[in-house]
Structure 1
Amino acid sequence: MCDDDTAIPADHEKDLAFGTKLIHSGNHPDEWTYKDVIPPISLSTIYNAESPGVIQNYEYTRCGNPIRSVLEKCLMAMDNAKYALVYSSGMSATMSMVSMLAPGDHILCSSDVYGGTYRLLSIIAKQAGILFDFIDFINTENIVQNIKPNTKLVWFESLSNPLMRVLDVKKVSDVVHRIRTDILVAVDNSFITPYFQKPLNLGVDVIMYSLSKYINGHSDALMGALVTNNKELYDKLYVYQYTCGNVPSSFDCYMVNRGLKTLHVRMEHHMKNAFVVAQFLRSHPKVLKVNYVGFPDHPQRDVINKQFTGYTGLLSFYINGGLKESVKLLESLKLFYITVSFGCYESLAALPTKMTHASLTDEQKYSIGIYENLVRLSIGLEYVQDLIDDLNQALEASGAKDKTNTTGSINVY
């Protein structure tokens, strides 16, 4: 155990206006008829026009909705952005970026991304004739060597899933834009959130969020978002959205707008809890390695200090065993729910090889370090000692051996 204060990095600069923005941006009672302090849900799909073809504010909910506008304004405020669009899911937001490309266009994607992103490119984009490559972005020289004349989109995660590898967002953006300014650089910032990182300030063209995760934070709404300062990109995305209809429900917009009001408070507690759990796991005899961005001796500490103002509640670790022991570990947990998601108030556990990245081939998994003994945790807001006690009893029940008793080869990346 450690003192809670050590869980907060010394360079953690609090955005004093952030919490105020979350609560007030787009949420002024004067904007609606009855001065509701809480923005009302507009369930209507249609809106009355003053005259044929004369639209006052809204026409049809596929093209715009009052509570959706409230949420988008708040998202813009969080990232100091000019434009935001919310979608029916994070994958729908990702698909909207891919849909702007034509057959023969090329996407360069970092190798260790969410399994759903692999699936989207490998199946849907491929069928549409869009080309793509998955490469390691840690060494930006790889990016330089793999940019093609037809490359139109570069996609990566600021903190990779599930290995927690940190990519230098500014360096990646600068390298790509030096080659060609017309290539769009997109980053998935779902793991870090705008509370701990603002990628638009680091040079990216667009940010993708799975709003279902930390921003909503309550495991009860499915939604995604794209945030940008690029008007031309926004205009294209807006036309694609109202044409294709990949919009969220009014109720889900209300739920996410409600959930994000406590994002700044929740992220502080997620970070503190995760730091303590990560230290516990690192010292456990049945754990071979812990992947956690908050360790002071993290090999990418310089990059972390440069681009993050705090740490996430996510970590992953390799146990001293194989698939049998990993499955037994998860089945033995009492407080952690076994599920594919992350970033909500309850603690969650996943086995990436069988869950989030199950659609990858074994060769693809192994090439990026996803072995049968890799476990991912999303640390929630429970009392941290209860989480440690639960993990300890599950590790003991897993059948994994102590490191001192290891024989043969145990996989670790």
Structure 2
Amino acid sequence: MPDIIDDKSEHCIPFILERLRLHREQYESRGETPPPFFLGLNGVQGAGKTTLVSTLSKTLSSPPHSLPTVVLSIDDLYLPHDAQVALAESHPDNPLVQHRGVPSTHDIQTGVSLFEALANRKENIKIPSYDKSQFNGAGDRRPESEWETVNKTGEKPVGVIAFEGWCVGFRALKDDEVERKWKDAKQQAEKGDGSYKGRLGHLKLEDVLFINSKLREYDALTDRFGAFMHVDAEDTLYVYHWREQQEAAMRAEKGTGMSQEQVIDFVNGYYPCYELYTDVLRKGIFGDEKGKQLRLVVAFKHLDLDGHDLPPSPAPSSPSNGRKYALATELVYTESNDQYNASSVPIYQSATFKGGPGQEYDYTRSGNPTRTHLERHMAKIMNANRALVAGSGMGALDVITRVLKPGDEVVTGDDLYGGTNRLLTYLKENNGIIVHHADTTKLDVVKSTITENTTMVLLETPTNPLIKIVDIAGISTIAHEVSTKIIVAVDNTMLSPYLQNPLDLGADVVYESGTKYLSGHHDVMAGVIGVNDLQLADKFYFMINSTGCGLAPFDSWLLLRGIKTLAVRMEKQQANADAIANFLESHGFKVRYPGLKSHPQYKLHWSQARGAGAVLSFETGSIALSERIVESTKLFGISVSFGCVNSLISMPCRMSHASIDPAVRKERAMPEDIIRLCIGIEDLDDLKDDLSQALVRAGAVKLTDNGFTALIADALEAAGETGRTTQVTDEP
């Protein structure tokens, strides 16, 4: 078995660049223009194909290569739903045909026509797309109007086509070879001793031969490949474990997902093909031709986080494939096998370490075992290749913005945390950084603001305190289409990694204030940075080491402790927040909360997040009235910040966002009367009672036979409007 490869891109990119060079020279030596290059990529489920092809696409599309690259998945060639149903009904006794994704369930004719059009550089080619959410997960082909168009008139034509999928590259076997493999598997299955873990031996030979015969049609696609990459696994049985983890995470986070039995049934549909055709891939799909295929072997195993022997913070020691269990479990699960077998991660409260040059640690400013353990743990739950921790959330943002140089341009939102706005203003006035504030909820506005001079796009979602939702994937795509060098950084503090993972949506950097939900108790200041690009991570580490803003050992330990309860805290806080939001809305207040279907970006939010969080805001129409409400609460503490276990109330324009000039707040349509609620884990009835009494004492509601209603509701009804606040006044 070859060496195990964890970082696939560093091996794949040199391989494909060499194949592209040979491809170009082959045609240019004859005085011909090189045609588009077709690259095949196969990997078992969970092998990281999506991330790999994204990295390849960015690399090939950007200078110095500048080769427009299109990525096509085998999933995009699924038969339309009606055709899938018809196929299954025509072979009712063949369990393989009932399973979407196996050979025979793809529209190969469309794929052949598409490959032909791309090879001939035809203009305005439509790339098919499949929506897996349709028909309760069975999926259906999207309307052609939603397909991506490539080779648009006047644009540089596609130079590389990357075709990826779990069965890409499979070659049909001779029927007698299929029968031999089937008989071997059947004999093992009939032993009944539990040693046979496959599925091939439990099927009928005629069913397997049917799939094999349909696979011959796929050669028309495979024969186009100029190179092929196979991301193999040490043991293909991993696909069961990987899928179980994915579905367990979905059940924990969304309340829906396949059971273990359903997962087994689902993967059973794929597994016979792994048994039949994996050896073909390993031997090579090009026959006697050498050098055109690269095989990598990925080990899907949990990281052994040794608390005593951890590498120093500078090391790229946080691979993102370290998850073994569902996220709620991983938050709690931290291995710490120090020499004394401590059940909790030790606090290495030491400024220096003995041993001299070459030791793992020498000075805590540069690295500390407790901090490194936290960074590894954070990388795992942030889906990052590396995580770094600083002394506060703003300290983390300061580290990120230190990569900017005079003249660099930053595009950011018009509804920002006050501290972020203050830092950007300083950079603009003192460091020569050009800052563009735009409505980041509108993709067309963002697209018109981002230029070739843009260095960084800085996003918050949900925004604070207006709770606007930003399309992370959409903006990341827009930015990276302009330049792959643009850094898209997302402040994920409002949701935490438990509810949203911006790196999975295309962002380059994610950062959070660990003071908020990660810690959960407002007893530690901390900032966390997650990143996949290890070179960029090295720059951030250099800044942390040089400025000495790394998180202290004791604070690192406090944050590690807080993270363990993140899931249970967030679930309780979310449940309370949802109830409070509905309570206020039902009584006539205009409430901003992404868990409400009245939120204008409800669908967008739930397309990228797993929950609505526990921060909401509402308006009264009067600054004085809002002030009285805030001052009348008893359980709700009047304080800035959010994310702790106790509920807080504040007026952002008087507190957290007071550093923003009033004229700027007005320009950005930030209501001066807006009240922000940060919901904790208290008893829901107590919170409702406290809020109700405050509303009554402040004179914000009118008593009715059914309870009370917001006075602002009368003004809205009189104006014939709903969902928009009245003009803000200084008096109610």
For the pair 1:298 / 2:599, whether they are aligned, the reply is yes
For the pair 1:340 / 2:640, whether they are aligned, the reply is yes
Q: How does 1:23-62 map to 2 (within 5 A)?
A: 23-24=332-333, 27-30=334-337, 32-49=338-355, 52-55=356-359, 57-62=360-365
Q: How does 1:262-273 map to 2 (within 5 A)?
A: 262-273=565-576
1:178-224 per-position Cα deviation (integer Å, ceiling 9, x unaligned): 11110000000011111111111100000011000001100100000
- The corresponding residue for 1:372 is 672
Letter in 2 for 1:316: S
1:142-201 per-position Cα deviation (integer Å, ceiling 9, x unaligned): 122112332111001121000111111111111111111100000000111111111111
1:24-78 per-position Cα deviation (integer Å, ceiling 9, x unaligned): 2xx3232x221101011111000011xx4222x1110000111101111111111
User: Which consecutive unaligned segments of at least 5 residues does structure 2 have?
Assistant: 1-250, 258-322, 702-710, 720-725
Report the Cα distance in structure 1 between the residues aligned to 2:354 and 2:527, rounded to whole angstroms: 29
Distance 1:10 1:282, change over 3 A: farther
SS in 2 for 1:84: strand
Letter in 2 for 1:309: R
Q: CA deviation at 1:10?
A: 11
Is the Cα–Cα contact under 8 Å of residues 452 and 482 in structure 2 kept in the other structure? no
1:1-36 per-position Cα deviation (integer Å, ceiling 9, x unaligned): xxxxxxx99965589611221122xx3232x22110
Q: TM-score, normalised by structure 2?
A: 0.52
- The corresponding residue for 2:326 is 17
SS in 2 for 1:129: coil
- The corresponding residue for 1:324 is 624
Q: How does 1:277-296 map to 2 (within 5 A)?
A: 277-285=580-588, 287=589, 289-296=590-597
Q: How does 1:150-169 map to 2 (within 5 A)?
A: 150-169=453-472
- The corresponding residue for 2:511 is 208
Between Structure 1 and Structure 2, how many residues are aligned? Answer: 396
1:230-267 per-position Cα deviation (integer Å, ceiling 9, x unaligned): 11100111111101111122111111100010101111
For the pair 1:219 / 2:522, whether they are aligned, the reply is yes
Q: How does 1:104-123 map to 2 (within 5 A)?
A: 104-123=407-426
Report the Cα distance in structure 2 between the residues aligned to 1:156 and 1:232, rounded to whole angstroms: 22
Is the Cα–Cα contact under 8 Å of residues 29 and 35 in structure 1 kept in the other structure? yes
Letter in 1 for 2:328: G
Structure ranking higher on relative contact order (CA contacts 8 Å, 6+ apart): 1
- The corresponding residue for 2:187 is none
Deviates more, 1:363-372 or 1:128-137: 363-372
Correspondent of 2:440 among 133, 137, 140: 137
Q: CA deviation at 1:404?
A: 5.2
Q: TM-score, normalised by structure 1?
A: 0.92
Q: How does 1:355-394 map to 2 (within 5 A)?
A: 355-394=655-694
Report the Cα distance in structure 2 between the residues aligned to 1:384 and 1:236, rounded to whole angstroms: 45
Correspondent of 1:403 among 712, 725, 731: 712
Is the Cα–Cα contact under 8 Å of residues 452 and 483 in structure 2 kept in the other structure? no
Is the Cα–Cα contact under 8 Å of residues 11 and 305 in structure 1 kept in the other structure? no
Report the Cα distance in structure 1 between the residues aligned to 2:607 and 2:441, rounded to whole angstroms: 16
Letter in 1 for 2:331: L
**Bigger CA radius of gyration:** 2
Is the Cα–Cα contact under 8 Å of residues 515 and 522 in structure 2 kept in the other structure? yes
SS in 2 for 1:273: helix
- The corresponding residue for 1:4 is none
Letter in 2 for 1:28: E
- The corresponding residue for 1:3 is none
1:106-133 per-position Cα deviation (integer Å, ceiling 9, x unaligned): 1111111101111001124431111111
Letter in 2 for 1:300: Q
Is the Cα–Cα contact under 8 Å of residues 499 and 609 in structure 2 kept in the other structure? yes
For the pair 1:258 / 2:561, whether they are aligned, the reply is yes
Query: Percent identity among equivalent residues?
Result: 37
Report the Cα distance in structure 1 between the residues aligned to 2:519 and 2:574, rounded to whole angstroms: 17
Q: CA deviation at 1:302?
A: 2.1
- The corresponding residue for 1:5 is none
Is the Cα–Cα contact under 8 Å of residues 467 and 617 in structure 2 kept in the other structure? yes
Correspondent of 2:616 among 291, 312, 315: 315
User: Which consecutive unaligned segments of at least 5 residues does structure 1 have?
Assistant: 1-7
Letter in 2 for 1:306: S
SS in 2 for 1:194: coil
